[in-house]
Structure 1
Amino acid sequence: MRKVYLLGSAVGAIAAVAVASPAMAQDMATQTEAEREAELSETEGVPGGLNTIIVTAQRRAESLQDAAIPIDALSSEKLTRAGIESANDLGRISPSLGVNPGGGPLTSLFIRGVGALTVNPLQDSGVAQNYDGVYLGRASSAAGQNFYDMERVEVLKGPQGTLYGRNATGGVLNYIPMKPQVGEFSGYLQAEYGNFDKIGVQGAVNVPLTDGMAVRLAASHQSRDGYNDDGTSDLEATSVRAQMLMEPTDRLSLRFGFDYTSVGGKGSTGSLLGFFSNTPGQQTEFTPTGIDIDSGACSAASNAFRVQTFQGPSFALLPPISCDDLFQDLSYGGLQTELTYELDAGTITIIPAWREYSQDYTFVGPGFAPAPTQESGEQFSIEARFASDFDGPVNGVFGLYYFEEEVDFAANFYQVAVAPIQNWTNGGDSWAAFAQVTFDVTDQFRINVGGRYTEDNKFVRGDDFAFLTICPLEVPPFPGAPFTIPDFAGCAAQNYPAVLPPTTDPQVYIDSLIAGGFIPPGSTINDGFYPLINGSAGFIVDGGAGQGLTSEDSWKEPTYRVGVEYDLTPDSLLYATYERGYRAGGVELAAVGAGGGLSFDPEFIDAFTIGSKNRFLGDTLQVNIEGFYWEYKGQQITYFSTIDDAPNFGTANGDSTIKGIDLDVLWAATPTTTLGVKFQYLDAKLDQLTLVSDPGTGRFGCENVGVVSGLQTFECAGTELLYSPEIALDLALEQVFVLGNFDLTFFADASYRSEQQTDLSFTPQTVSDEYITANFQLTLEPADALWSISAFVNNAFDERYLVNTNVGSSGAFYGEHNPPRTYGVRAKIDF
């Protein structure tokens, strides 16, 4: 009932203003105000009409309505109005886009259920991200996107295998900053203050240097207290950007860019919401803790439950989590050049770019307390394109692309009595050649064909140690020897090193255990098994077999597309396309695991689309509709289980079918009233997926088919893909009241999402319930729009829903929710 009330309130508010506003405006109107209304409508490009939005999604500038692909485009103003302050908020900008904020830089993106829980750099994202035309190799780079001084953000829905290449099976996000303007001195300054002591400051200045040279400088800083009671889920981010544009001739353009972002604070965490049973055969039985969803991972309430939880097989109690141990120190930066040369026959574009990042943070999950991670990497890429402009009926985009990266990774997936330490270097290179050509059969009918050939090479080399405290009845003579667990009281009475040092250096573990008097002096990481000095238990490190591991593999794949376009009228486009998407295979550090091995295969999507883009009623009504059918083969699914009595993070391959309808309507009902509707129906289900674990340890909500080849086996066919709500609906209203020489603009939007799965355990507890949210903003600005003052409230009805869940080997269940109600004021000055 509460959801029905919220939806009624949100939609009712929008409808009431929509109906009342014309009369209100008429009552207040004077001749000056009427003139102002006419002036306002003229600024939209067509009297009383809608804006023309220019996009570059197909590697050339064109109208959004002329681009024969499904795409959402949002301006900097719309991003600010929607309260988008970090990558975790991106799920609010498109019904097709889902976001998993995994803590620290571990944000994962999904489009129509296609994506990946990218928790380490051995995994590629299924949704490609591009900053200013440069592909970002690591999914974690989303954490480095601070949304300020942006020209727009483009969301390309569906595989983009031809123009964007690998790792764009779900689609593409293009982050496009404002560029320098020659001969123009301009800029802006914006400040914001809100609850949770939110402070946001951003600005930019465009300075002409000579007739053919200009620079643009921009910066942003955002900070606020944590949404959780323990201070976690906070925000602290600072970004700077500098660009120089040189136009020595009418044909030649050079643009140099630099950007840097620093992210700090404690980072986002969930709250300990409950426990799953560890009784064999009953692992999906759930007991809630009853603590508040905003408690936080290191709160007193969460710790009160943790210290009563046993971590097997040591039977040691979990220690509390200290908030002092939670932090994130993240930085992202890069340099790039864009060279553009205009020929009579077309345009040559060359973009060399270098980027680096550093991520030092702790990860908190169900059994992690906390897990330290240090990761750093750099990438180099260069893309060269030629976009033809021939007089004849054939034109296209032709290009070459090269990319290479190297990443250093050190992590301790610290689970108190279990501590897998992985230290490695991974990377590789990729090159591709591509072309996309359009044939104008007639003035109204076009055929579009494209192809891309890609070669990928990947490697990983490093060490994998697994530290484990055990409570055996008899001390095993060697690592991995069979043992039995005695009665609980006997284990609990032993003296175990339950709290191991949270370090990424394996020798530090050994030295710490020696210093604590737990294991014999002189022990090394190669000894394997260490009898405890105080007690009959033991300590195992599977270190000798995990040192000096190396894996490498390569793949060669073509991707292609075929499309037809037909102009029903000058303002109505009908199109149909087929496109093949490809996500590169990967390498792993060990050859064991569920569906795992030293490498895993690529995944593919065959996407069929039919759509239409239209403008009606004198360019005041826009109706875009698309139907899609995707066949998803070899889907890379990396999940947590227990294999050979040790935690395992293996990769399985599944198949899925994805189909649905996408509708986007924008209506300029009057020169001062604009209404918007975005709707998506989505049917995204697994056709085949097999998950496995040690017998009696699997905790999956899929069908348990018993023990197969020594492993408990679960068949997950028919399960919905992650972050794929069946119904997604966004409503928006913008109403301008003309008050003499001032405009008062009211903006409201409401979003509905049906329930959606958030975790690969596929349990009912990891399902995010349906929800409705609403945001409101009121802005006052003069007719010349040189300044503005806004008051806003986001998530006005304080609707809360799960955005991320984690289930640990101890059965602990953590969940993170969307931000609560936030509100504040914002002021902006343009010059």
Structure 2
Amino acid sequence: MRMLVRYSVSGAAMASALLCSPALAQSGETPEEPTPQSGIGDIIVTAQRVAENSQDTPLPIDVIQPEELVQQNVLRAEDLSRISPSLSAASGGGPTTVFFVRGVGNSTVNAYSDPAISFNYDGVYLGRPTSTSGVFYDLERVEVLKGPQGTLYGRNATAGAINVIPNRPRLGETSGNFTLGYGNYDWLTGQAALNVPVGDHVAVRAAGSVARRNAFQSDGTGNQKEYGGRLQVYGEPTADLDLRVAFDFAHQGGAGSSGFYLGAVNPTFGPTGFAGYDFVPTGFPVDQGLLDPASNALLAQRFIPQLGRAGAVVDGQPFNNNDYWGITAELNYNTEAGTLTVQPAYREASLEYAFNGVFRQGYTQEEDRQTSMEVRWAGDLGDSVDYLIGGMYFDESISANARYNQQTLSPYQDFSSQTESWAGFGKVTVRPVEGLSLTAAGRYTSDKKDFAGTSNVYILFCGNPAPPQDFCPNLPFVPLASTEEELQAFYAANGIPITPVPLFVLPPFAGGSQTAPFVLRSPIVIDSGLDNNKFTYRLAAQYDLSRRNMVYASFETGYHAGGFSFARGAETYEPETIKAYTIGSKNRFFDNILQVNVEAFLWKYKNQQFSQFGYDLGDPPSTVFLTRNIGNSTIKGVDLDVELLATENTLLSANIQYLDTEYDSFVYFAPNQGLPPNTSCPFAPTTQTTPGGSTINVFRIDCSGNTAFNSPKWSFNLNGQQTIPLGDHKAVVQGGTRYRSSSFSTADYLPYLRSEAAFVSYASLTLAKEDDSLFVTFYVNNIEDNQRLITGTTNSAGLISASAEQPRTYGIRVGGKF
């Protein structure tokens, strides 16, 4: 549990907390304001769809306070991984975010599938991982729920949920706050909020945010241009009825980082033939982007066997031009029998973005629309039984076109998808004797999904790809053509045929050639549907040893729906499931001076979904990005969260996670194009049979026994805060560090693609008035300038394109409130 606020000592309030007011979540029921108390203060959460003290909630949960979000410059969803030890989040290209919790997640960043972590903004599930930006301002808190969410929250998810909860309007209060920041990279940030009453029964709250930053990388990529706004109207026409309507919008510009070249992978040969792969580091700094002249000079030297030539460059400029908006309403009606909550919502996203990585340029244009409705009834049966029942409807439509230029091939995709999901859920808690609570919760979900589209894959060859090597020194690379017609016209003008049949397999009398270049056009047409129905449930027991000490145990199941791939013979994949066993204890000691929460967990992860570049089962096969169910894993560990109010003005905290993961089975297939795969996992040549009866040569790769992706064995955050009273003013000194041990993020488990262990520390000094009405903060993040490797992928020229965490940043913030 993360709690860096308290009620009794004003000096413990971080100056950046001036951004928000401590409004309680109005979800189902609104508890009374907490009574001022000494020691560490309480935090109200809605992780079980009712408002309750986090220390009384028998769930593994990290609660991130607004001041931490400001301290760590959290502006996008992937920034949350700098705060929560259990969460790994990274940009997946353009606006997409890839999430993992304790080694469970998925790296699919297209519109073919659902995320493995449920992202909920203002109580509304967001279906696309591209829509998680532009919401991190004027927040009450962020909740990171660890483990399967199979009962109460949004769509089902195997890994967990992230709940972003804005501040709500407050009746009878005129208030406002602002903060402005400036730092290196010309990083300008600003946030402001204004709360205005309209009579006695209505209040309006408006908030906004802007962030602009120069590029993190030498090629001008990794810059930021974002802004957003939120308007809420809240009314209480009667004591038993309240209604809130919220509208928000956001724009994301700038460009994601292009990446950097980590090294080159070269096949070596001896007297008996192939002798292995040799990794040669480039020595390039992590801020030398792929479009940098020095990076392109290295790429241009690399010989690409399939094309029979060198000279490739990365010249496709990355950019973001993404707009989001949504509207939601929340109605709560209190009766003597219980509380009715109704929340309809509608959201749209209009996306156009480009990115690099292993691509000369990847490009997507996409329109997303989602409609949802959730209805809940919360009540009790006397003093010993509480219950909640509800239902949810979710409808999503996506239309998109995309292209992914990889120098040697480029698919042109045009597709649409539709998802309709119904769910009914319920929870009942029984207290048979004093101190003991027994909870049972369940959810039945019905997901119906349809996908239709075409992907025309154009693959360039210099004659025969097999030895002896063909050479085509003047063969044009796949151009940055925005349409198929442009690409076809380009190669027609160069006299290079485009054919649906590999010419090197045909004899000369049939039009084939062993030496002349050609473009293979491989059409992939998908028109498929999925119906997934699943019942998931949770059983939990909690025993209160005292008013401030409790133990709990739970068992919960989770489910993540199947999805689609542009892959013939592998168009769909099945749902994955998880079973989670948890025991824990939450405690306060010494009159709220010391808080100790501990959790032990065991997860059994089945039918895991895994995304990769590989062959589909077409005749002939195409290299595609596809998702398959590849195996099972066992995940276990311990979380320990400790907070100590050492003195009236000194607060210390530690959040520690130990994680032990193992893939019980993990088998996937890679194309056999002559040379063995570059992996540390055992492999063997084999074949796959296509639906048409042909055979495809592949390698069967078995990574069973390895640790899970993005799952460092040790993760911890250490934080300290000291308040120094200065008469009518105060100084607040804060510092801390986070540590992640080494881990892998790719399925080849190569040592040079391991993310090495690293410390990342921060410090700040805040000078403020005693009543927090004005403040100035000086800060530095990532003091060590450790940029831990996030991921790396080998391109067609044998160079590893990698990405890393943010560099050292520092600056100043000023703000105030009234």
**How high is the TM-score relative to the length of structure 1?**
0.88
2:461 to 446, 453, 470: 470
1:631 to 604, 612, 615: 604
| C-alpha contact 1:467 1:539 (8 A) present in aligned 2 | no
- 1:715 correspondence with 2:715: no
Q: Tell me what 2:102 maps to.
A: 112
| Matched residue SS, 2:168 | coil
State the 1:804 CA deviation. Answer: 2.8
Q: Tell me what 1:15 maps to.
A: none
1:780 to 764, 767, 785: 767
| Matched residue SS, 2:390 | strand
2:315 to 295, 316, 322: 322
Greater Cα shift, 691-700 or 660-669: 691-700
| C-alpha contact 1:106 1:118 (8 A) present in aligned 2 | no
State the 1:487 CA deviation. Answer: 4.3
State the 1:266 CA deviation. Answer: 2.2
- 1:222 correspondence with 2:222: no
* Structure 2 counterparts to residues 122-161 of structure 1, below 5 A: 122-142=112-132, 144-161=133-150
Q: Tell me what 2:412 maps to.
A: 421
Please give the per-residue CA displacement for 1:677-734, whole angstroms capped at 9, x wherever unaligned: 1000001121101111222353333112343554211101111111100001110101
* d(CA) in 1 for partners of 2:311, 2:709: 30
| C-alpha contact 1:284 1:700 (8 A) present in aligned 2 | no
Q: Tell me what 2:789 maps to.
A: 802
State the 1:320 CA deviation. Answer: 2.1
| Matched residue SS, 1:720 | coil
| C-alpha contact 2:223 2:254 (8 A) present in aligned 1 | yes
Please give the per-residue CA displacement for 1:630-657, whole angstroms capped at 9, x wherever unaligned: 0000010111235666323232321000
* Structure 2 counterparts to residues 685-700 of structure 1, below 5 A: 685-695=662-672, 696=675, 698-700=677-679
State the 1:259 CA deviation. Answer: 0.9
- 1:668 correspondence with 2:629: no
Question: For residue 686 of structure 1, what is the amino acid of its counterpart?
Answer: Y
| Matched residue SS, 1:317 | coil
* d(CA) in 2 for partners of 1:797, 1:289: 22
| C-alpha contact 1:774 1:795 (8 A) present in aligned 2 | yes
Structure 1 pair 730/829, CA: closer, same or farther in 2 (3 Å)?
same
* d(CA) in 2 for partners of 1:588, 1:273: 29
| Matched residue SS, 1:305 | helix
* d(CA) in 1 for partners of 2:733, 2:289: 35
2:195 to 199, 206, 218: 206
* d(CA) in 2 for partners of 1:298, 1:240: 34
* d(CA) in 2 for partners of 1:166, 1:661: 27
| C-alpha contact 1:467 1:541 (8 A) present in aligned 2 | yes
1:571 to 538, 541, 548: 548
State the 1:598 CA deviation. Answer: 2.2
2:429 to 419, 431, 438: 438
Q: Tell me what 2:392 maps to.
A: 401
Question: For residue 56 of structure 1, what is the amino acid of its counterpart?
Answer: T
2:242 to 253, 272, 275: 253
Q: Tell me what 1:498 maps to.
A: 477
| C-alpha contact 1:165 1:452 (8 A) present in aligned 2 | no
| C-alpha contact 1:745 1:779 (8 A) present in aligned 2 | yes
Q: Tell me what 1:183 maps to.
A: 172
| C-alpha contact 1:284 1:763 (8 A) present in aligned 2 | no
State the 1:756 CA deviation. Answer: 1.0
Q: Tell me what 1:295 maps to.
A: 288
Q: Tell me what 2:254 maps to.
A: 265
Greater Cα shift, 440-449 or 261-270: 261-270
* d(CA) in 2 for partners of 1:305, 1:502: 24
Q: Tell me what 1:648 maps to.
A: 624
* d(CA) in 2 for partners of 1:318, 1:581: 49
State the 1:536 CA deviation. Answer: 5.1
* Structure 2 counterparts to residues 581-596 of structure 1, below 5 A: 581-592=558-569
| C-alpha contact 2:736 2:761 (8 A) present in aligned 1 | yes
* d(CA) in 1 for partners of 2:524, 2:698: 23
| Matched residue SS, 1:88 | helix
| C-alpha contact 1:46 1:619 (8 A) present in aligned 2 | no
| C-alpha contact 1:518 1:533 (8 A) present in aligned 2 | no
State the 1:46 CA deviation. Answer: 5.3
Q: Tell me what 1:95 maps to.
A: 85
Question: For residue 68 of structure 2, what is the amino acid of its counterpart?
Answer: K
* d(CA) in 1 for partners of 2:749, 2:622: 21
| C-alpha contact 2:40 2:593 (8 A) present in aligned 1 | yes
Q: Tell me what 2:72 maps to.
A: 82
State the 1:502 CA deviation. Answer: 3.6
| C-alpha contact 2:463 2:514 (8 A) present in aligned 1 | no
**Could you list the runs of 5+ residues in structure 1 that have no partner in the other structure?**
1-21, 26-42, 474-483
Please give the per-residue CA displacement for 1:296-355, whole angstroms capped at 9, x wherever unaligned: 1111121111111233422243532237x2211122211111111111121111111111
Question: For residue 511 of structure 1, what is the amino acid of its counterpart?
Answer: A
* d(CA) in 2 for partners of 1:635, 1:690: 11
State the 1:779 CA deviation. Answer: 0.6
Structure 1 pair 281/236, CA: closer, same or farther in 2 (3 Å)?
farther
Q: Tell me what 1:828 maps to.
A: 815
State the 1:88 CA deviation. Answer: 2.6
Q: Tell me what 2:17 maps to.
A: none
State the 1:540 CA deviation. Answer: 3.0
Greater Cα shift, 87-96 or 807-816: 807-816
Structure 1 pair 535/160, CA: closer, same or farther in 2 (3 Å)?
closer
Tell me how many residue pairs correspond in the alignment.
765
State the 1:210 CA deviation. Answer: 1.8
Question: For residue 69 of structure 2, what is the amino acid of its counterpart?
Answer: L
Greater Cα shift, 188-197 or 813-822: 813-822
**How high is the TM-score relative to the length of structure 2?**
0.90
* d(CA) in 2 for partners of 1:519, 1:118: 34
Greater Cα shift, 190-199 or 802-811: 802-811
* Structure 2 counterparts to residues 681-760 of structure 1, below 5 A: 681-695=658-672, 696=675, 698-707=677-686, 709=688, 710-760=697-747
State the 1:518 CA deviation. Answer: 2.5
Greater Cα shift, 763-772 or 161-170: 161-170
| C-alpha contact 2:140 2:166 (8 A) present in aligned 1 | yes
**Could you list the runs of 5+ residues in structure 2 that have no partner in the other structure?**
1-8, 12-32, 689-696
